[in-house]
Structure 1
């Protein structure tokens, strides 16, 4: 179990550290749009913060429920196919499937970069805090359905891991935008 928690913790650290580096990029790059209907990097960062907000509502509620169940004597049991669910979640970081995001996760452009950066730092801290509360396997006591890519029921560790893979998906999107920006600069 400690190995699972460590994998999730490392994914959080790696992806949030990478996100942080995007705030140091050039203003022109952050606002570059190859096409009118495409998000720029600033909008992608805002979208990540919005998605994290809604995922953390579920993660926080589930964490409280898991701790209550542990206090009430519920036993933690590791399912036999536990590792395979993480492999299914790994697909989230790729561009190999599509999903329709809810409207409330669309960037509005109303938050400035400092607000987005502060939100992301707060969200990272909240994820790490939840993991620290669930250090003895309590995260296995609550499952929540995840409709994205038909993942089905995820425990809290898997839900947090999903959050990291969603971030990774958009880090890859920002890297592609940066490449397009550099290519457009070469053409000029």
Structure 2
């Protein structure tokens, strides 16, 4: 299970570090919209914080349940095909499938970027803390249903990993926005 904890921790560090760099980007890039129906990078960042909020409600509750279910001295081992589910979750980041976001995860565009950044830092700390509590395999003791892309039952490690892949999906979205912005700026010069 240490490999699983390490995999999830590395995904957290990498994706939250990369998302934090977006707050230092140029103001005009953060507000750039290729069309009116597209989100700009500010809205994407706000959406990530909203999605994380709701995912963390489930992760926090499931972490507490997993800790309540642990038995001293019991080592929780993953099943033989355990890594397969992580590969299924990896698809989330590539953006090749569509899903309809719930309305409560739609950004308003009104939240200050400093607030969004602080919230994302708190969310990162909460994810790392939950992971540290589950270092001995306890995260395998709870299954949570994930309807996105028909992933089905995920344990707490997989659920946190899903959160990181959702972030990665939107990092790629913002990278595409950045390319479109640069192309627009080059044409304007």
The within-5 A match list for 1:37-186 is 37-71=37-71, 76-186=76-186
Q: Per-residue deviation at 1:109? A: 1.6
Separation in 2, partners of 1:32, 1:170: 15
Consecutive unaligned residues in structure 1, runs of 5 or more: none
Separation in 2, partners of 1:66, 1:83: 20
The one-character-per-residue Cα deviations of 1:88-144 (angstroms, maximum 9, x if unpaired) are: 000000111000010000001221000000000000000000000000000000000
Of the structure 1 ranges 118-127 and 64-73, higher mean CA displacement relative to structure 2 is found in 64-73
Q: Per-residue deviation at 1:74? A: 7.2
How high is the TM-score relative to the length of structure 2? 0.97
Aligned length: 188
Consecutive unaligned residues in structure 2, runs of 5 or more: none
Runs of 4+ in 1 over 6 A off after TM superposition: 72-75
Tell me how large the CA RMSD over aligned residues is: 1.2
